[in-house]
């Protein structure tokens, strides 16, 4: 039987794009006959303490020779010292959603430390899988040869067609699905909306406040002057999240960097017009006919774009039609799992 061990940092039930990719990939591969042995690595990743490192090293030591090991980059990138003794006897595949040094809010010292750690670790992998094409340039800048890089973007699930319709009176419902961390750009979004108080909108934020409680508290304080038109829903299960997509009029993602941007693809699948930054992969994930791009971190440009889609119903419908057309070209999860399987099979 085709099999591999999947090393996942922390609790993979956390609803982020990266963990969602990990969960869905495992599920799809199992359906095609792969045995997937998920091992969760306890710790505060990517800043593990000594105990977390020792526990990870023990997991590696217990694996049989020649085991195929897929490791999520959130942990893999900082474990070079623990991986090195097992680099030759285990077949390592690193899964990189985006390089750790790309995270927003790091000081220069932390950014340099994480980049050097990831460079060290990536040299030990037989293959490196990026979940977005934009990450390839980053990987090559960190010394990973093209022959060791594969790209497998996330899949999407089909959504029943969302027919064009005339909106009932009321505010335009903006939806943002993103964990409350600095990289996701909520601060810029709230700055932009603060200048649109005369426009008819309401913002629905879906995303965990627990990953970065300090940032979450600051964002909620920033939103207070905007009153009840800003809603914080926290983390939602799949059914509740799908309901939010169905009720939304416009999807917005103000991220400062994305390795792919799964939620934008999901918004397209739901036929939603999108306003997003051009940061990282978003310049490619969002096609021009389906949304408006703005420069990352530019609150004034985001305000202008949001003002346009909030006040111009014809523009919203034109972009929604573009989203519905783009959704036809989105790869599904079985197709992407098959692509990932082909990468793994190179090492089996």
The burial class, CB within 10 Å (0-12 / 13-18 / 19+), for 283 is: middle
DSSP line for 36-62: EEEEEE-S-TTS--HHHHHHHHHHHHH
Residue 255 clears pLDDT 70, i.e. is over it? yes
End-to-end Cα distance, the chain? 11
> Contact 29/36 with Cβ under 8 angstroms?
yes
204-213: pLDDT as tens digits: 999 999 889 9
Of 156, 189, 194, 149, give the one whose Cα is nearest residue 297.
189
- CB proximity list for 102: less than 8 A, separation 6 or greater: 138, 183, 257, 259, 280
- Burial of residue 2 (CB within 10 Å: 0-12, 13-18, 19+) is middle
pLDDT tens-digit series, residues 19-37? 989 999 999 999 999 999 9
Tokens of 198: 């005369």
Instruction: Locate 128 and state its tokens.
Output: 């490196």
pLDDT at res. 80: 98
Query: Are 3 and 244 within 8 A, CB to CB?
Result: no
Strands 127-130 and 172-177: unpaired
* Largest pairwise CA distance in the chain: 65
Residue 68 has a pLDDT of: 98
Question: 277, 253 in Cβ contact below 8 A?
Answer: yes
Which domains does the chain carry? 3-155+331-345 (3.40.50.2000), 172-327 (3.40.50.2000)
Give whole-number Cα distances, 186 to 158, 180, 276, in Å: 28, 7, 12
Tens digit of pLDDT for each residue in 113-122? 999 999 999 9
How far apart CA 2 and CA 104 sit, in angstroms, is: 38
Helices first, then strands: H and E counts in the chain: 14, 12
For 151-205, how does the pLDDT look when each residue is reduced to its tens digit (9 = 90+)? 999 999 888 766 665 556 689 999 999 999 999 999 999 999 999 999 999 999 9
Q: Give the residue among 72, 192, 189, 152 at the shortest CA–CA distance from 333.
A: 152
Q: How confident is the model at residue 220 (pLDDT cuts 50, 70, 90)?
A: very high
> What is residue 330's three-state secondary structure?
coil
What tokens were used for 114?
Answer: 């994480």
Q: Which helix (H) or strand (E) holds 294?
A: strand 291-294
C-alpha radius of gyration, the chain, whole number:
21
Specify the pTM. Answer: 0.83
pLDDT computed for residue 294 by the predictor: 97
Question: How many C-beta neighbours within 10 Å does residue 306 have?
Answer: 26
Encode pLDDT of 1-12 as tens digits.
799 999 999 988
* Distance from C-alpha of 279 to C-alpha of 327, rounded to nearest angstrom: 21
Beta bridge partners, 204, equal 175, 231
Task: Read off the tokens for 73.
Answer: 């980059």
pLDDT at 168: 60
Question: What is the Cα–Cα distance from 270 to 69, expressed in whole angstroms?
Answer: 35
pLDDT for 249 beyond 60? yes
**What confidence score (pLDDT) does residue 167 get?**
54
Q: Is residue 326 a contact partner of residue 287, using CB atoms and an 8 Å limit?
A: yes
Q: Which of 178, 174, 149, 200 is nearest to 311 (CA)?
A: 200
- The secondary structure element, H or E, covering residue 325 is helix 313-327
The DSSP call for residue 342 is H
pLDDT at residue 165 in the model: 58
The mean predicted confidence, pLDDT, of the chain is: 94
């Amino acid at each position: 039987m085709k099999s591999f061990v999947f090393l996942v940092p922390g609790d993979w039930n956390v609803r982020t794009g990266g963990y969602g990719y990990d969960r869905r990939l495992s599920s799809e591969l199992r359906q095609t006959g792969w045995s997937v042995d998920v091992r969760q690595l306890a710790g505060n990743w990517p800043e593990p303490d000594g105990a977390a490192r020792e526990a990870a090293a023990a997991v590696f030591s217990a694996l049989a020779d020649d085991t195929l090991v897929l490791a999520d980059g959130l942990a893999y990138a900082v474990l070079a010292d623990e991986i090195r003794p097992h680099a030759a006897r285990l077949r390592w595949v690193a899964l990189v959603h985006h390089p750790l040094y790309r995270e927003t809010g790091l000081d220069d010292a932390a950014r340099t430390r994480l980049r050097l750690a990831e460079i060290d670790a990536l040299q030990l992998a037989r293959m490196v899988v990026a979940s977005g094409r934009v990450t390839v340039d980053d990987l090559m800048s960190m010394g990973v040869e093209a022959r060791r890089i594969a790209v497998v973007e996330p899949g999407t699930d089909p959504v029943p067609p969302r027919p064009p319709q005339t909106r009932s009176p009321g505010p335009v419902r903006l939806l943002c699905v993103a964990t409350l961390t600095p990289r996701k750009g909520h601060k810029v979004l709230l700055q932009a909306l603060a200048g649109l108080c005369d426009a008819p909108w309401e913002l629905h934020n879906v995303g965990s406040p627990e990953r970065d409680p300090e940032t979450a508290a600051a964002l909620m304080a920033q939103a207070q002057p905007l009153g009840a038109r800003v809603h914080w829903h926290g983390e939602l299960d799949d059914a509740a999240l799908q309901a939010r997509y169905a009720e939304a009029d416009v999807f917005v993602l103000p991220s400062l960097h994305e390795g792919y941007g799964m939620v934008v693809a999901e918004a397209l699948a739901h036929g939603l017009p999108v306003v997003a930054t051009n940061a990282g992969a978003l310049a490619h994930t969002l096609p021009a006919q389906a949304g408006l791009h703005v420069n990352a971190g530019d609150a004034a440009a985001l305000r202008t774009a949001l003002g346009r889609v909030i006040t111009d119903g014809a523009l919203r419908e034109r972009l929604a039609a573009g989203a519905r057309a783009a959704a036809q070209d989105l790869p599904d999860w079985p197709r992407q799992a098959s692509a990932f399987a082909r990468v793994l099979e190179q090492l089996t």
